[in-house]
Amino acid sequence: MRNLVLALALVPLPAMAEFFTLKGHGGPIMGIAAAPDGRIATASFDNSVGIWTDQSPEWLEGHEAAVNSVVFNGTAIYSAGDDFTLRQWPGGQIVGRHKGKIVGVAASKTHVATASWDGTIGIWPVDGSSPSMLGPTGSGVNAVAFTPDGSQLYSAGVDGTLRLWDVASRQEIDRLVEHGFGINELVLNAQDNWIAYGAVDGVTRILDLSSGEERDFTLDRRPILALALSPDRRLLAVGDGEGYIMVIDTGDWRIAQDFRATLRGPVWALSFSADGQNIHAGGIDEAMYSWPVAALSEHEQMAASEPSFLKNPDQMDNGERQFTRKCSICHSLSPDSQRRAGPTLHKIFGRKAGSLPDYLYSDTLQDSDIIWNEETINALFDEGPDHYIPGSKMPMQRITGAQDRIDLIAFMRRATAPED
């Protein structure tokens, strides 16, 4: 396991209603949760969760792939991600496992629910007793939300269906929406008896659970990737794939603010602060941004500096272009791993696979006899990691052009060589 220490002073988080950023992750921010006591949890593509009580976080490490969702539940924290696992912290023990990536988590007083692309919903008792599964639904599940007493659960799926389940009987008891496109996100407001959902085609609607009436706040932006409800239930924040945060006033049913949060990339994660004064957001940048709700547009946008993987391809030779597209989001070229999803590639040539002491490798890679050189790197991208090293954490991708692989290897040879 990586044992990286940030050389930062213990600086308290700024007071809410001030703009601030939380920096330290080595990849995009995929999920955010705010605890009643003011702590903030960030789930990242770099395989870790950050717990922030000040600006020097506690790192929760153990996931073997990107972490997509995190939730506070009493004294425990639960996180889930692309390694198919649900983990409980402190400790990081695996309390649940799916057959596909987990993209959503919800918690009640007695259970944690997981939404998985394997088409099922996991119901995991917090007391450690036997879990159960809802479904299969026939398609991936993107989001889940418990009713306040935990007896029922709403789910949103890739098939565009918004379902209601009875947790005890494990039976589907209603289909509230059958949308023509996948529903990515949902938020339940049980006190006011409505549920909001956001879809791949940009649809943003609020369904009255008593009358069945829908209020439509769809704008010409897609997909919807994040929803968050303020603690007083008066504001609903909506994040989309084009970098905007729309804020809906649920008292007057109007769009109160529409803020271009980032010029580069989507808004993947949203959460209100515990006191409701700030909106926390994450996206393609390696930091979480927090804006005062009352003054969103008066402060810095996300991704003010361009990530390397968004660099203009015309400014690179072909080898660097291949590296930027295929490798740079997970790997650094510097001597340390910089909290990336993958280990540093510094001095990669001649190195045994799975041998760096500060990175948590899959057993498959750690136990292999591969030595990284021109031939093995060429084979990795020619066959694809899923075929060349079955069972490794590396994403499924190939570089099919022989000259593209030659150019990539030449760039890596130059860029990863030890300094004289």
What domains can you pick out in the chain, each with its CATH number? 20-298 (2.130.10.10), 308-415 (1.10.760.10)
Q: How far is CA 296 from the centre of its chain?
A: 23
pLDDT tens for 84-96 read 999 999 999 999 9
Question: What gap in Å lies between CA 132 and CA 260, rounded to an integer?
Answer: 41
What's the whole-number mean pLDDT along residues 314-334? Answer: 84
Higher pLDDT, 45 or 263: 45
Which residues have C-beta within 8 Å of that of residue 420, sequence separation ≥ 6? none
Question: What gap in Å lies between CA 410 and CA 20, rounded to an integer?
Answer: 41
pLDDT at res. 10:
56
The one-letter amino acid at 209: L
> What angle is formed at CA 360 by the lines to CA 359 and CA 364, rounded to 5 degrees?
120
Q: Please tell me the pTM assigned to this model.
A: 0.83
Tokens of 374: 């021109």
For residue 20, pLDDT over 60 is answered with yes
pLDDT tens for 166-195 read 999 999 999 999 998 999 999 999 999 999
> Helices (DSSP H) in 243-367: which residue ranges?
318-326, 363-366
**Least-confidence region, from 92-96, 117-121, 219-223, 297-301:** 297-301
What's the whole-number mean pLDDT along residues 295-323? Answer: 75
3-state secondary structure of 323: helix
